[in-house]
């Protein structure tokens, strides 16, 4: 994968070579495409699968079982979890803090701290979802600002841009009965 620093050096080299406006425009477009490709590659977010409904096997999130359904293993509810968690999506594509994977581990830690063995009926709701068009438009806008900064010889500070995320999380805390395993 091509790094942002590599693209920055290449664009700066061509910008300082006294090349014409068309070549500079082509270099800016190359940078825009490169940044979009980098963020598209990094935008894949994989979360571990949730636990089996029978809550057997190794817990997926530390020592806590999580399911969006109902556990079939004998259990009793001990409370509910309801929270809003914020995160940050770098270059409008890559979750660097507060992505779905981080949220699940955060919720599991809360359950563990409250003595629960699992959470059922778990829901993660993105309260400010972006459409694909909005995400691409934000990425292109950032790429254009980076290209302008590089062309002026400034450091590409626009590379730190991103989108704040906010998820509403809810579920039911449960403790498994001893005779259920």
Residue 135: which CATH number? 3.30.110.70
- Find out whether 65 and 82 touch, Cβ atoms under 8 Å: no
Q: At 113, is the pLDDT very low, low, confident or very high (cuts 50, 70, 90)?
A: very high
The pLDDT assigned to 57 comes to 77
Residues with Cβ within 8 Å of residue 1, at least 6 apart in sequence: 38, 41
Choice among 1-15, 35-49, 61-75, 164-178 with the minimum mean pLDDT: 35-49
Looking up tokens 């089996």, which residue turns up? 52
Q: What is the mean pLDDT of the chain?
A: 76
Q: Which domain holds residue 158?
A: 4-180
User: Among residues 172, 67, 86, 81, which one has the least CA distance to residue 127?
Assistant: 86
Question: Could you give the number of structural domains in the chain?
Answer: 1
Residues with Cβ within 8 Å of residue 96, at least 6 apart in sequence: 87, 88, 89, 90, 162
pTM of the model: 0.61
The tokens describing 140, both together, are 């292109």
- Find out whether 11 and 147 touch, Cβ atoms under 8 Å: yes
Q: Is the pLDDT of residue 157 over 80?
A: yes
Q: What is the mean pLDDT of residues 36-61?
A: 61
Q: Is the pLDDT of residue 147 over 80?
A: yes
């Amino acid at each position: 994968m091509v790094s942002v620093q590599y693209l920055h050096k290449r664009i700066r080299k061509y910008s300082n070579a006294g090349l014409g406006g068309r070549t500079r425009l082509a270099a800016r477009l190359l940078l825009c495409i490169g940044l979009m490709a980098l963020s598209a590659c990094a935008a894949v977010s994989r979360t571990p699968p949730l636990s089996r409904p029978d809550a057997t096997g190794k817990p997926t999130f530390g020592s806590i079982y999580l399911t969006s359904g109902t556990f079939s293993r004998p259990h009793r509810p001990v409370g509910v979890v309801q929270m809003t968690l914020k995160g940050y999506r770098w270059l409008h594509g890559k979750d660097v803090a507060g992505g779905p994977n981080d949220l699940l581990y955060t919720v599991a830690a809360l359950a563990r701290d409250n003595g629960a063995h699992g959470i059922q009926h778990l829901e993660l709701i993105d309260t400010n979802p972006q459409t694909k068009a909005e995400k691409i438009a934000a990425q292109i806008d950032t790429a254009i600002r980076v290209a302008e900064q590089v062309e002026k010889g400034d450091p590409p500070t626009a590379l730190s841009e991103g989108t704040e995320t906010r998820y509403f999380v809810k579920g039911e805390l449960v403790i498994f009965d001893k005779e259920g395993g």
